[in-house]
């Protein structure tokens, strides 16, 4: 009885203290202006809000819980089950694993993932192994609402019917306390010192120590609105934040006793579901949206995001991105983005932006339908006399001058417009006052403060309000469509034309630089003087070039050709705006024109808008580039350092062996796979949730000859088939965009067991047997092949011989007065070649070819008229000249025939003489082909030793005397000597020769 009275007294005393706490609470404004977007994520960049739902990869549009494991993977729980996200793709675990309807997630100190379900108990995912706990294992309720871990490593589980825990024995144990046994526990939170705080559905609050309820507080102690969420301050143990079901945040001290020290409004957000402190901001998620308390305790609503309904959990990943879940809208990610969407901040409707320019604190945005002005302090839109004047006008370029005035280049009657913001005056230079041009494309201020305007009618110079000069066709500018103008350090003006290269104006003298001077294209969209490097940069329609002391160099190794503009940051990088994004590379790489390492930004990597073709973007002194985009304006600070890629997590969580997953428990160890496995797939990931697209390389050492280079966006599954037994190392690397060097890497050793067939002794014996078998088979194969080849060669040779014999017969039939001459010359040629065989090293095959060549040596006579060819008496001079053409005709007829070597040579040069007095070419000595020199002797001998229409056959002695006489002058000495030796040996027998020829030619 005394104990009950004492307990009531303590409760009354505690209520008094809490009431005092209410009295001491501060009054804070309900809602204040939001912080700069560049401060929210703790980096000097803007942020982008990305919503994942069923329309862009997330299997569902609802999410209850979110957590991140140490390997970088993001785990999302929803009523559809468990989902893993690697920054590129979502993977949903099949419900056959026992995991479905996920309500809560927790990653413990051993990197195990604890999955609380709505109706199936709790599951533990331990590197691929899944264990499910339900009523059979000791749970009182299948519905798990929250999970945490105490300092002893016990996994504390909040259910709809009290508390339980999983100890070192991996078994379920109940936390038995009547105060919570039947309570619906909604939340468990652990502070920096390991203290665990809990909350019930009715708003009751308790503390858990050493697996026992240490303190328990009723809901009415906190005010009229029940507490809906709790969050221990991560840096101040004993300090708690409590979100109510209304619009109130309570700051509570738990030491030495529970005390509310502050109440703050979260209007318009109501029903606070979760709290998280990141980078000095306390984030709030509520049923109707998201907000945060800044460092001064001022609450700000986050209104420009796509998640506004049923927002639940909040978490921050390893890169500082902030994630939110919604049971109706999916998952939201706030991610740093070096690009700021100015159009969205200003509420600007989509428009094609041709030019941007800052004057004062206003951003001037030029489009095809007029001018927009955005105040950069609050991104409000401004209208004034200038916007009214240019309504509906196409504006191509805006530039400031040194007097603070704006110059606007337009198409149509407005011409070139000068606007003075100081006195709001507007002056238009057009046809009425001397600027006779239908289009003004660009304008720049010269060193003498005059303005140079590039137009469709050449170049105009304006000074002191007057047009002082015009350069057009009369001055040598044949193509007056000028796209750009730049002044060089020497005062020369460089004009980029639309199809005729560059015009250079030097003291009124105009010269031209074109394709012959090194321009890759004569459409020159941009010319820029680079004062730091003392050269000009050119953007043409198909390349980037630079001009140094008049010498043009094309940057041929640049990865893209359709570029619009180029800018330079303080780190000596070039920013190239192109039709597919932005390329960033070292200027030195462009100049060296060798290997160009680059970073690339497109819409996937946070660039809101692609640059408009031939547009002009404004770069301020701080490095802020206001990009003129195809549907809006965005800003990027080109001097700001790029995000550190060291935060990228490289992970190889598993390998798949013939479609069976094998978890990788520790990447520093190895994975052993059996010898009989066929396909190995390596699940490798470069996990980053930022907008950058890091370059990666991977290779399997021991198999791949060189690394495969790709990007995260383009990374494909990696697999290998039929690997030999042995040791392999798989390498996954992050590549530095600027240097090409490896910035971060991980590796996995893979050992494939050797099969019996890969055993060294077995292999040695197998090789010996295989060699013997192959040798036998090859020997047999080549014997058969050689046999068939020889048979074919015989048939081919016979076929060729028959063709040549037939041609020779045709020649003799045509030359009826010298019938048999072709065969006799061939017969003598073979005899001479055989006589010279030993001395000259002729083969039997060569001698046979000589014979065939000689058979058709007079084929050119087929072109000689019958009246000359078959004339019964000597030819006159004219006829002889025609007859001599048969040699050249024969060469031309056979020069494309290669079935027998030197056919054309024998026909074309057998009338050449050793002294150079022969025909058709007058060749001399050894310039005459060898076969032709042999045929010449045989032909000359047969001509004298056979009957001709105009004389009878000469005696052999007379013929031989004549042969001796012309030895060395007409005929080759060595061949003549061979003929004389044959005669001395009695081997030249006219009757025998005629008989042989008759037999062969019959």
Percentage, residues of the chain above pLDDT 90: 67
736 and 745 Cβ atoms separated by less than 8 Å: no
pLDDT band at 816 (very low <50, low <70, confident <90, very high): low
Q: What is the 3-state secondary structure (H, E, C) of 216-234?
A: EECHHHHCCCCEEEEEECC
- Looking at residue 337, what is its pLDDT? 87
In tens, the pLDDT along 255-283 reads: 888 899 999 999 999 999 999 999 899 99
Lowest mean pLDDT among 287-291, 404-408, 616-620, 908-912: 908-912
Dihedral sign of CA atoms 388, 391, 393, 396 in order:
positive
What is the three-class DSSP state of 650? strand
Average pLDDT over residues 573-579: 97
The architecture of the domain spanning 393-554 is 7 Propeller (2.130)
- Looking at residue 31, what is its pLDDT? 35
Average pLDDT over residues 762-791: 80
CA 344 vs CA 373, 397, 624: distances in Å: 14, 22, 17
pLDDT band at 2 (very low <50, low <70, confident <90, very high): very low
pLDDT band at 946 (very low <50, low <70, confident <90, very high): confident
- Determine the Cα–Cα distance for residues 599 and 202; give it in Å rounded to an integer: 54
Q: Are strands 259-265 and 248-253 parallel, antiparallel or unpaired?
A: antiparallel
Write down how long the chain is.
Answer: 1002
- Looking at residue 39, what is its pLDDT? 60
- Looking at residue 716, what is its pLDDT? 87
Instruction: Count, in order, helices (H) and strands (E) of the chain.
Output: 15, 65
526 and 539 Cβ atoms separated by less than 8 Å: yes
740 and 595 Cβ atoms separated by less than 8 Å: yes
What is the three-class DSSP state of 621? coil
In tens, the pLDDT along 646-660 reads: 689 999 999 999 988
Using alpha carbons, select from 545, 562, 652 the residue that is nearest to residue 612: 562
Q: How many CB atoms lie within 10 A of CB 17?
A: 13
pLDDT band at 840 (very low <50, low <70, confident <90, very high): very high
Stated as kind and residue range, the H or E segment containing 49 is strand 46-52
In tens, the pLDDT along 375-385 reads: 999 999 999 99
In tens, the pLDDT along 657-713 reads: 998 888 887 767 789 989 888 999 999 999 999 888 889 999 999 999 999 999 888
pLDDT higher than 80, residue 16: no
- Determine the Cα–Cα distance for residues 793 and 833; give it in Å rounded to an integer: 23
Q: Which residue has the tokens 């301020």?
A: 620
Across the chain, what does the average pLDDT equal? 89
pLDDT band at 23 (very low <50, low <70, confident <90, very high): very low
Spell out the residues 6+ positions from residue 313 whose beta carbon is closer than 8 angstroms to its own: 64, 65, 66, 273, 274, 285, 323, 324, 325
748 and 730 Cβ atoms separated by less than 8 Å: yes
Using alpha carbons, select from 340, 339, 383, 378 the residue that is nearest to residue 365: 383
Retrieve residue 852's tokens: 């065939």
Beta-sheet strand order (sheet of 425-429)? 395-400, 406-410, 416-420, 425-429
- Looking at residue 627, what is its pLDDT? 98
Lowest mean pLDDT among 4-8, 139-143, 286-290, 364-368: 4-8
- Looking at residue 201, what is its pLDDT? 95
pLDDT higher than 80, residue 289: yes
pLDDT band at 894 (very low <50, low <70, confident <90, very high): confident
In tens, the pLDDT along 148-180 reads: 999 999 999 999 999 999 999 999 999 999 999
Using alpha carbons, select from 818, 812, 809, 831 the residue that is nearest to residue 943: 818
- Determine the Cα–Cα distance for residues 57 and 88; give it in Å rounded to an integer: 9
pTM: 0.68
- Determine the Cα–Cα distance for residues 556 and 192; give it in Å rounded to an integer: 58
- Determine the Cα–Cα distance for residues 666 and 825; give it in Å rounded to an integer: 90
- Looking at residue 783, what is its pLDDT? 84
Spell out the residues 6+ positions from residue 153 whose beta carbon is closer than 8 angstroms to its own: 108, 109, 110, 168
Q: Are strands 90-92 and 102-107 parallel, antiparallel or unpaired?
A: unpaired
- Looking at residue 789, what is its pLDDT? 76
Q: Are strands 742-752 and 670-673 parallel, antiparallel or unpaired?
A: parallel
Fold of 645-756: Immunoglobulin-like (2.60.40)
Lowest mean pLDDT among 257-271, 321-335, 509-523, 754-768: 754-768
The domain segmentation of the chain, as residue ranges, is 393-554, 645-756, 808-1001
CA 422 vs CA 168, 389, 390, 405, 860: distances in Å: 77, 17, 18, 8, 98
Using CA atoms of 124, 127, 129, 133 in order, give the dihedral in degrees to the nearest 10: 0
Stated as kind and residue range, the H or E segment containing 386 is helix 385-389
**Residue with more model confidence, 711 or 394:** 394
- Determine the Cα–Cα distance for residues 950 and 943; give it in Å rounded to an integer: 12
- Looking at residue 665, what is its pLDDT? 79
pLDDT higher than 70, residue 6: no
Lowest mean pLDDT among 395-399, 459-463, 831-835: 831-835
pLDDT higher than 50, residue 799: yes
CA 636 vs CA 259, 340, 615: distances in Å: 47, 6, 16
pLDDT band at 795 (very low <50, low <70, confident <90, very high): low
CATH assignment, 808-1001: 1.10.3210.10
What is the three-class DSSP state of 493? strand
Helices 844-855 & 821-835 angle (0-180, nearest 10): 160
């Amino acid at each position: 009885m005394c104990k009950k009275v004492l307990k009531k007294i303590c409760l009354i005393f505690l209520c008094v203290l809490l009431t005092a706490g209410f009295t001491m609470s501060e009054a804070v404004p309900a809602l204040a202006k939001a912080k700069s977007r560049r401060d929210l994520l703790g980096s000097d960049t803007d942020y982008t809000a990305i919503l994942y739902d069923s329309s862009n990869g997330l299997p569902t549009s609802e999410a209850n819980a979110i957590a991140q494991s140490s390997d970088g993977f993001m785990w999302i729980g929803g009523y559809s089950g468990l989902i893993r996200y690697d920054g590129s793709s979502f993977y949903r675990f099949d419900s056959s694993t026992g995991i479905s309807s996920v309500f809560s997630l927790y990653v413990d100190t051993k990197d195990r993932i604890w999955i609380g379900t709505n109706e199936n108990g709790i599951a533990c995912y331990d590197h691929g192994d899944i264990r499910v706990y339900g009523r059979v294992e000791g749970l009182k309720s299948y519905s798990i609402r929250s999970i945490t871990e105490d300092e002893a490593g016990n996994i504390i589980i909040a259910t709809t019917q009290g508390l339980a825990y999983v100890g070192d024995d991996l078994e379920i144990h109940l936390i038995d306390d009547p105060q919570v046994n039947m309570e619906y526990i909604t939340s468990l939170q652990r502070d920096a010192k390991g203290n665990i705080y809990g909350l019930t559905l009715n708003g009751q609050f308790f503390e858990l120590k050493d697996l026992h309820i240490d303190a328990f507080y009723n809901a009415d102690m906190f005010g009229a609105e029940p507490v809906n969420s709790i969050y221990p301050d991560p840096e101040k143990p004993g300090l708690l934040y409590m979100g109510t079901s209304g619009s109130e945040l309570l700051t509570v001290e738990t030491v030495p006793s529970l005390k509310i020290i502050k109440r703050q409004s979260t209007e318009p957000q109501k029903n606070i579901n979760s709290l998280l402190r990141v980078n000095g901001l306390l984030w709030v998620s509520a049923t109707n949206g998201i907000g945060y308390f800044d460092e001064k305790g001022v609450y700000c609503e986050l209104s420009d995001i796509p998640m506004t309904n049923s927002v639940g959990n909040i978490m921050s990943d390893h890169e500082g991105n902030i994630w939110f879940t919604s049971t109706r809208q999916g998952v939201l990610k706030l991610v740093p983005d070096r690009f700021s969407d100015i159009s969205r901040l200003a509420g600007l409707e989509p428009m094609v932006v041709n030019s941007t320019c800052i004057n004062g604190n206003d951003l001037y945005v030029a489009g095809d339908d007029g001018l927009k002005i955005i105040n950069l302090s609050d991104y409000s839109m401004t209208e004034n006399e200038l916007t009214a004047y240019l309504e509906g006008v196409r504006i191509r370029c805006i530039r400031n001058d040194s007097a603070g005035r704006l110059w606007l280049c337009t198409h149509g009657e407005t011409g070139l417009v000068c606007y003075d913001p100081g006195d709001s005056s507007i002056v238009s230079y057009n046809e009425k006052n001397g600027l006779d041009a239908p289009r003004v494309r660009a304008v720049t201020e010269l060193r003498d403060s005059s303005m140079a305007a590039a137009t469709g009618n050449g170049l105009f110079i304006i000074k002191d309000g007057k047009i002082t000069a015009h350069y057009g066709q009369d001055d040598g500018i044949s193509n007056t469509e000028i796209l750009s103008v730049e002044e060089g350090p020497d005062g020369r003006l460089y004009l980029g034309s639309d199809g005729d290269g560059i015009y250079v104006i030097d003291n009124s003298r105009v010269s031209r630089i074109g394709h012959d001077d090194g321009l890759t294209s004569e459409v020159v969209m941009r010319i820029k003087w680079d004062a730091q490097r003392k050269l000009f940069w050119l953007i043409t329609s198909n390349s980037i070039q630079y001009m140094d002391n008049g010498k043009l160099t094309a940057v041929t190794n640049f990865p893209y050709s359709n570029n619009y503009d180029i800018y330079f940051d303080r780190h000596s990088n070039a920013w190239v705006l192109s039709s597919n994004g932005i390329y960033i590379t070292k200027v030195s790489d462009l100049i060296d024109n060798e290997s160009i390492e680059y970073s690339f930004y497109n819409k996937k990597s946070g660039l809101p808008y692609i640059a408009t073709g031939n547009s002009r973007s404004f770069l301020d002194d701080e490095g802020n580039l206001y990009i003129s985009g195809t549907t809006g304006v965005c800003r990027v600070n080109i001097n700001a350092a790029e995000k550190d890629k060291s935060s990228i997590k490289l992970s190889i969580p598993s390998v798949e062996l013939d479609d069976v997953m094998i978890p990788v428990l520790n990447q520093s160890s190895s994975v052993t796979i059996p010898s009989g496995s066929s396909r190995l797939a390596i699940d490798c990931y470069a996990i980053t949730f930022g907008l950058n697209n890091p370059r990666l390389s991977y290779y399997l050492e021991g198999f791949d000859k060189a690394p495969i280079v790709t990007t995260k966006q383009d990374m494909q599954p990696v697999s290998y088939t039929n690997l030999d037994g042995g040791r392999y190392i798989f390498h996954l690397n992050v590549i530095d965009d600027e240097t090409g060097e490896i910035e971060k890497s991980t590796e996995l050793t893979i050992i494939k067991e050797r099969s019996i067939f890969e055993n060294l002794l077995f292999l040695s014996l197998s090789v010996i047997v295989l060699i013997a078998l192959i040798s036998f088979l090859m020997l047999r194969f080549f014997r058969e092949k050689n046999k068939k080849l020889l048979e074919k060669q015989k048939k081919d040779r016979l076929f060729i011989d028959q063709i040549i014999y037939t041609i020779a017969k045709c020649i003799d039939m045509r030359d009826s007065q010298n019938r048999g001459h072709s065969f006799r010359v061939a017969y003598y040629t073979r005899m001479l070649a055989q006589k010279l065989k030993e001395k000259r090293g002729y083969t039997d095959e060569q001698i046979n070819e000589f014979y065939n060549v000689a058979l058709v040596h007079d084929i050119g006579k087929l072109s000689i008229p019958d009246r000359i060819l078959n004339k019964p008496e000597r030819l006159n001079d004219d006829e002889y000249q025609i007859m001599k053409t048969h040699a050249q005709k024969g060469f031309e007829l056979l020069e494309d025939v290669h079935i027998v070597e030197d056919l054309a040579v024998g026909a074309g040069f057998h009338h050449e003489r050793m002294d150079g007095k022969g025909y058709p070419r007058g060749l001399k000595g050894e310039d005459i082909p060898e076969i032709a020199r042999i045929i010449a002797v045989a032909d000359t001998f047969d001509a004298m030793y056979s009957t001709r229409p105009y004389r009878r056959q000469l005696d052999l002695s007379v013929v031989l005397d004549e042969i001796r006489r012309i030895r060395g002058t007409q005929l080759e000495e060595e061949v003549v000597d061979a003929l004389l030796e044959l005669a001395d040996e009695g081997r030249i027998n006219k009757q025998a020769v005629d008989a042989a020829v008759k037999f062969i030619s019959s």
